[in-house]
Amino acid sequence: MFRLKTANFNAQQEEHFDLAPHDTSTEENSVAPLLLEDDRSMPGPSGNIFSNVNEFTPRNIDEIESHVLSAEKAQTHDFSNTESFGEIIGRRIVDLSYIFAQIKNVNHDIGLGCSFIDMDFVSEDRRGCYSECWFICKMCNIKSKICTVKESPKTNWSINKAIVNSTIAIGIGYTQVYELLSGLEIPSISSNTYTRIETLLGAEISNTAWSEMEKAGQEEKRLAIESGCVGSDGIPMITVVADGQWSKRSYRTKYDALSGVASIIGYNTKKVLFVGIRNRYCVICERSNNKKIETPNHFCFLNWKQGATSIEADAIAEGFKRSIEIHGVKYSKLIGDGDSSVTKRLNEILPYGPICRVQKVECRNHLLRNYSQKLMALSKRTDYPIKIRKKISANILRLRTDITCAIRFRKLENKPLYHKVAGLRLDIANAPNHRIFEIHKNCSAYFCKRSGVPQNIILEGKSIRQEIDTIVSRLSNNAESLIMDVDNNACEQFNSVINKFLGGKRINFTQKSSYSTRVQAAVISYNSGEYLRSVKKYVTHKSPGKVGKQFLRRTLAKRYTCQKKRKSSSNEPKLKSKRPKRNNNADEDYGHADPLDNLKDVNDEQFINEMNEFVRKLGKVDRVHIEKETRDQASSELWKRERLSRLTGSNFGRVCKMRQNTSCKNTVHSILYSNFTSSAVQFGKDMEQIAINKFEEMSGFQVKPCGLHIDEEYPYLAASPDGVIDNDRLIEVKAPYAARSTINYIEAVETGKLKYCTVENEKLKLKENNIYYYQIQGQLHITKRKLCFFIVYSPQWISVEEISYDDNFWTSNMEDKLQSFYWNCLLPEIVDPAFKYRLLISDIRDPKTSTVKTPKAKKKLF
């Protein structure tokens, strides 16, 4: 084989058409400026970077054209020396069809019969998982670039971006993808590149998530309008499910997560309408503080400085406040898991004003699980007989099933709602009789047709009966929620999707923006069911390729099969584990100390007219209907709602005993926003029915339940006695927690455990200056009854005192003070709440003059 040479050949200037590894010709050096312009971040081993594709630079053309020829024997090219041109280490992710197309399109126009087989690899320009490989022809010196994939890093959906998006989709981070690619011998992208791409992708994921939530809101709004659930102001009203979750597992011991999220899901569509994300930590800010240096400019996503336990209530409250702004709807009913902090916050901020209050509906699953857990705990107490404890533990699941059967039956009855609730309460109370004590005389016909009273079980279970009744009463108090037969499974399912994107909470994604991005990705996945398609469609306006579509089809098919199996299965679904209740005490320093702007003045004529109109509407209500519908009292949503617009008997004593210079701010806050619970309060609720039963046995009277009684003259005053006997008599029950272990009431008074009573003539007597006396006089006046049986009950003793109505006491000590307090203090906060803006008690209006000595306040307003 011979090769052409020039006639003027010499040893210093000999140049062949093939390019030697040590060649430093001017053609190679001429491309150096192009390297700076293209900014190749990771050049190949040879360091030779070429930017012009198919560039031909012939050498000594004049000598060739002069036909001066010389001959020498050419050596056969040894391909084993290819590594000297530059070595490719490891594997690469490539688009085969695109690789073949590029090779096919490499053009050698010089006419020497050379092709890609005559080209040698020179260098690799790698940017993450994207590579540009440069080749040069040994014959014609043409330079060509072969890319591993079609989309370069400058496009909106490069291979690097696809990898980052996939790590988000499967719940892993940079360390995991680095290890995965290393195991495959594929060079990985750098951590800085990963973070930069994740940040840019996070903004696109956020926009996609909000787009999905807006679609869900429009669908919920349409369904509400079609079903006629529209308020008096024309705004649709919907039912939502809400819950929160945190970035780490607490295991019921440590509640210090650095991030958390609360979600609001439409009950009809089962799609996410709002997510509130709270982050308590920023790694850049924290490191700067530790090093005591100035914090560099960065996008800081830290937006929460309070405790982790308060995240849920604040985020849900934000969603309620923005529901009209975002979706044009009101969240009228909230299905939750019994977290009282959320209800407390909603009652504080009043997102839709004092008239339209959010109704809280307890989740059926959480109520029943608490019921079962308390019974299980009771069955393990060794101070009770083993036989009855075994009876309880063996029937816990059946007791739960009895309640679910009763719910299904009662809610299908063709009766008014309060009849259904009353029937369900009886079924709940009778469940232990049926299963544990085998007493069937009160069993409903639809459930049981047996009879008989085994005395031995009754005698053995007598000591534990009170504990069982207490557990049952707590469940029956929520009968109004149980009859609705709803749960918050939608939120539990969404939380599991979030956990999937967070790697099962085993990876710390809270240092930068990754946690927020992954929560928003979970929203896309939950609402659309196709995360990969939704994100790529939003970013590129194109659907995934054939491989991606095949995966989506298989996923949908598998999901459909699982749903079909669940529907056909008769097994009861397993309950998810309950999150522990969280304490949510508001920070007293939250907000600003400056006075609120644009707060309505109580002396403003327009505001006075609004208050007058509000009271006028209170006077137009059907008092008889409200009393009848609210006989469940604390278990009735109507009872709670109507009380919040009025001053009720339980607060009469506090108001009437206020000193002249006492501010009304704390009292107003306590009446409208407090959700106080304690062991003493719960003990009083648990003992109330027991005390009434004991009183009925002693007196022979039959006590009937009663609801909220509204005063005929002053419709803003109301009272709810514990029961009524006839048109002249009522009862009021107190069960002092401090005196629960005393032998008799004399010991209780002498030891100071019963401070509101005295002993006169060996009988217990209520002090007339005590707030309970004011409460009883108010109840007698509003209900127009003459006598109250004041019952003080302890497990060891009971006392009954007859207290008559004292019209002079009402007129001189109560009437004017109650009117003045309502008009000057309570009513302005009801009509135009000031507390909701910053949750500061100091924002509540306080009249400039004493509320006690302004009995003509009503005339002043009118």
Q: What is the mean pLDDT of residues 59-75?
A: 42
The residue from 150, 183, 202 where one domain ends is 150
Does residue 785 form part of some domain? yes
Q: Which residues contact 832 (CB under 8 A, 6 or more apart)?
A: 599, 600, 607, 610
Q: How many residues does the chain have?
A: 862
Q: What is the mean pLDDT of residues 648-673?
A: 91
645 and 678 both lie in a single domain: yes
- Hey, what are 16's tokens? 């062949």
Does residue 474 form part of some domain? yes
Q: What is the DSSP letter of 674?
A: -
Q: How confident is the model at residue 71 (pLDDT cuts 50, 70, 90)?
A: very low
697 and 818 both lie in a single domain: yes
380 and 357 both lie in a single domain: no
Is the pLDDT at 586 greater than 70? The verdict is: no
Rg (CA), the chain: 39
358 and 371 both lie in a single domain: no
Q: Residues 672, 347: contact at Cβ < 8 Å?
A: yes
> By mean pLDDT, which of 143-157, 553-567, 728-742 is the weakest?
553-567
Q: Tell me the β-bridge partners of 126.
A: 131
Q: What is the Cα–Cα distance from 508 to 515, expressed in whole angstroms? A: 8
Q: Give the residue numbers spanning the domain of 381.
A: 365-482
Is the pLDDT at 19 greater than 50? The verdict is: no
What pLDDT does 453 receive?
58
Q: What is the mean pLDDT of residues 369-396?
A: 91
**What is the DSSP pairing of strand 757-760 with strand 797-804?**
unpaired
265 and 336 both lie in a single domain: yes
Is the pLDDT at 521 greater than 80? The verdict is: yes
What pLDDT does 354 receive?
83
Pick 719 or 641 by higher pLDDT: 719
> By mean pLDDT, which of 212-216, 270-274, 635-639 is the weakest?
635-639
Q: How confident is the model at residue 820 (pLDDT cuts 50, 70, 90)?
A: very high
- Hey, what are 338's tokens? 């019994």
Does residue 186 form part of some domain? no
What pLDDT does 43 receive?
39
Residue 93 in 3-state DSSP? coil
The residue from 528, 555, 587 where one domain ends is 528
Q: Residues 675, 586: contact at Cβ < 8 Å?
A: no
Q: Residues 854, 824: contact at Cβ < 8 Å?
A: yes
Does residue 63 form part of some domain? yes
Q: What is the mean pLDDT of residues 220-234?
A: 93
Strands of the 797-804 sheet, one edge to the other? 723-724, 729-734, 787-794, 797-804
Is the pLDDT at 656 greater than 80? The verdict is: yes
DSSP labels, 237-257 = EEEEEEEEEESS--TTT----
**What is the DSSP pairing of strand 709-710 with strand 723-724?**
unpaired
What pLDDT does 591 receive?
43
For 796-811, write each residue's pLDDT tens digit.
999 999 999 999 999 9
Q: What is the DSSP letter of 814?
A: I
Phi, psi of 41 (to 5 degrees): -80, -30
**What is the amino acid identity at position 483?**
I
Pick 184 or 77 by higher pLDDT: 184
Q: pTM of whole model > 0.75?
A: no
Q: How confident is the model at residue 321 (pLDDT cuts 50, 70, 90)?
A: very high
- Hey, what are 671's tokens? 């009446």
Is the pLDDT at 21 greater than 50? The verdict is: no
Q: What is the Cα–Cα distance from 513 to 516, expressed in whole angstroms? A: 6
Is the pLDDT at 483 greater than 50? The verdict is: yes
> Which of 507-516, 675-684, 716-725 tops mean pLDDT?
716-725
H helices of 39-173, in order, are 61-65, 96-105, 159-170
What pLDDT does 13 receive?
38
299 and 407 both lie in a single domain: no
Is the pLDDT at 31 greater than 90? The verdict is: no
Q: What is the Cα–Cα distance from 690 to 697, expressed in whole angstroms? A: 11
Q: Residues 690, 472: contact at Cβ < 8 Å?
A: no
HEC secondary structure over 630-669: CCCHHHCHHHHHHHCCCEEHHHHHHHHCCCCCCCCHHHHH
Share of the chain above pLDDT 90, in %: 55
Is the pLDDT at 14 greater than 80? The verdict is: no
Where do we find the tokens 């990963």?
194
Pick 222 or 603 by higher pLDDT: 222
Taking each helix axis as running N to C, give the angle between helix 462-476 and helix 417-435, from 0 to 180 degrees, rounded to the nearest 10: 150
Spacing of C-alpha 347 from chain mean position: 17
Q: Which residues contact 580 (CB under 8 A, 6 or more apart)?
A: 250, 252, 255
CA-CA-CA-CA torsion for 349, 350, 351, 356, nearest 10 degrees?
170
677 and 814 both lie in a single domain: yes
**CA contacts within 13 A on the Cβ side of 817:** 20
**What is the DSSP pairing of strand 259-266 with strand 130-137?**
unpaired
For 582, other C-beta atoms within 10 Å of its C-beta total 21
Q: What is the mean pLDDT of residues 725-748?
A: 93
Q: Residues 517, 168: contact at Cβ < 8 Å?
A: yes
Q: What is the mean pLDDT of residues 213-240?
A: 94
Chain mean pLDDT for the chain: 83
User: Widest CA span of the chain, in angstroms?
Assistant: 144
Does residue 184 form part of some domain? no
95 and 217 both lie in a single domain: no
96 burial (CB, 10 Å; 0-12 / 13-18 / 19+) is exposed
Phi, psi of 661 (to 5 degrees): -100, 15
H helices of 502-545, in order, are 514-528, 531-540
CATH number reported for the structural domain that contains residue 215 in this entry: 3.30.420.10
675 and 773 both lie in a single domain: yes
What pLDDT does 114 receive?
87
Q: What is the mean pLDDT of residues 316-325?
A: 94
671 and 524 both lie in a single domain: no
Q: Which residues contact 700 (CB under 8 A, 6 or more apart)?
A: none
Q: What is the Cα–Cα distance from 603 to 599, expressed in whole angstroms? A: 12
What pLDDT does 454 receive?
59
647 and 757 both lie in a single domain: yes
Q: Residues 733, 696: contact at Cβ < 8 Å?
A: no
Total structural domains within the chain: 4
How far from 851 is each of 436, 664, 681, 714, 826, CA to CA, in Å?
Answer: 56, 8, 29, 18, 11
What pLDDT does 455 receive?
53
Q: Residues 789, 695: contact at Cβ < 8 Å?
A: yes
Does residue 279 form part of some domain? yes
Is the pLDDT at 44 greater than 70? The verdict is: no
Closest CA to 790 of 666, 699, 682, 657: 699
Does residue 104 form part of some domain? yes
383 and 278 both lie in a single domain: no
Query: What percent of the chain is helix, strand and coil (3-state, nearest 5)?
Result: 45, 15, 40
CA-CA-CA-CA torsion for 682, 683, 688, 694, nearest 10 degrees?
160
How far from 562 is each of 307, 499, 558, 559, CA to CA, in Å?
Answer: 40, 20, 6, 5
Is the pLDDT at 348 greater than 80? The verdict is: yes
Q: How confident is the model at residue 110 (pLDDT cuts 50, 70, 90)?
A: confident
The residue from 465, 497, 528 where one domain ends is 528
Closest CA to 31 of 139, 143, 106, 110: 143
What pLDDT does 186 receive?
94
What pLDDT does 385 receive?
87
DSSP labels, 361-426 = EE-HHHHHHHHHHHHHHHHT-TTS-HHHHHHHHHTHHHHHHHHHHHHHHHHTSSS-HHHHHHHHHH
CATH number reported for the structural domain that contains residue 689 in this entry: 3.90.320.10
Q: What is the Cα–Cα distance from 666 to 671, expressed in whole angstroms? A: 9
Q: Tell me the β-bridge partners of 274.
A: 264
What pLDDT does 242 receive?
95
Does residue 593 form part of some domain? no
Q: Tell me the β-bridge partners of 4.
A: 71
What pLDDT does 636 receive?
85
For 443, other C-beta atoms within 10 Å of its C-beta total 18
**CA contacts within 13 A on the Cβ side of 171:** 15
